[in-house]
Amino acid sequence: MSADVETSLRGPKAYELARKAIQAMEAHQVWPTALNFELWVHYVAAKGSALAAEIDTIIESGEPFTDEVGEHLAAQFLPKAKLNGEILEAGQTLSKELDSVSRAIESARETSEAYGQQLASASESLDGDDAAAIKTMVETLTVATRKVREENHALETQLHDTTAELGRLREHLEQVRRDAMTDALSGLANRKAFDEALERASAQAEQAGETVTLAVIDIDHFKSFNDTWGHQTGDQVIRYVASVIGRASGNPRFSARYGGEEFAIIFPGESARSALAVLEAVREEVSSRILKRRSTNEDLGAITISAGIAERKPGEAPASLIERADSALYASKRGGRNRTSCADPIAAAA
């Protein structure tokens, strides 16, 4: 939530805001889920906000406020990215700590077992010795060692169970990581994952003296399409375009939903010319299919995309590469859309 709304919910107006949100949801037949409640608290608390304007548009259009609509609005207007990043980093730190604890326990078990074996061996070597006092001491220590061994066995059992639990926890943390790095609507990587991947690809390219190319893609006239057919159909279009992009960008390429109706593909070790061929194939496949509205089977017509490509220059920062790819995308938009432009036409034609 924004700071103003958060402050209001911790003050004397909190219950009033909550009641207004519930009343508004009931009036518009919106299910009172946690996500919807958060959205509608924003709606009643900040009527001049972009989120409130979007909800007003949905209300005026008569479009039902489904779970998909709520998720779409939340992804666009609720600032969760920072929280997701903090959760992700905490999970990674915890996983490292658990690995360290597991290794320490295992090391302690092995040391204790070796100690017991040495004491038992010392008792056996003194078996025929006349040093009664020493033998008695060693036998006493052997009894103690036997007890330590029993305790070690119990510890080993516990360690086995704990290690299994740590394995399950690490798998869960990895799943959390995947979820935190994946865009729920498109199934592609999200913006945070894209930023990390571009940083990594740029660093590797700089170190190896190789190139990396970035493509940014935008669905043409998407806002008009969304306003005409509604968010659910707009989401259907985003998923369709994402599926085409995903098929064209298998490993080591990296595809992501950059934001809204924008996508990006990273091409490690590939030139602008190579990326251009891929983008043209994607563009042609996207525009070749006549889409139908899933709920009514109405023809939606063909969807087109515009793209911009930039090949990284030696020493260039990721932000600069993104800026040049964006400029190439805008050149495609100005040139009539449904086309791909390169930031450096000479490199693409080489």
Residues annotated as catalytic (active site), given as ranges:
261
C-alpha to C-alpha distance for 19 and 4, rounded to whole angstroms = 18
DSSP state of 323: H
Q: How many residues does the chain have?
A: 350
Residue spans of alpha helices (H) in 50-131: 50-61, 67-77, 81-125
C-alpha to C-alpha distance for 285 and 277, rounded to whole angstroms = 12
Amino acid at 3: A
C-alpha to C-alpha distance for 75 and 326, rounded to whole angstroms = 22
C-alpha to C-alpha distance for 305 and 261, rounded to whole angstroms = 10
**340: nearest Cα among 288, 290, 284:** 284
Instruction: Extract the tokens encoding 9.
Output: 């919910």
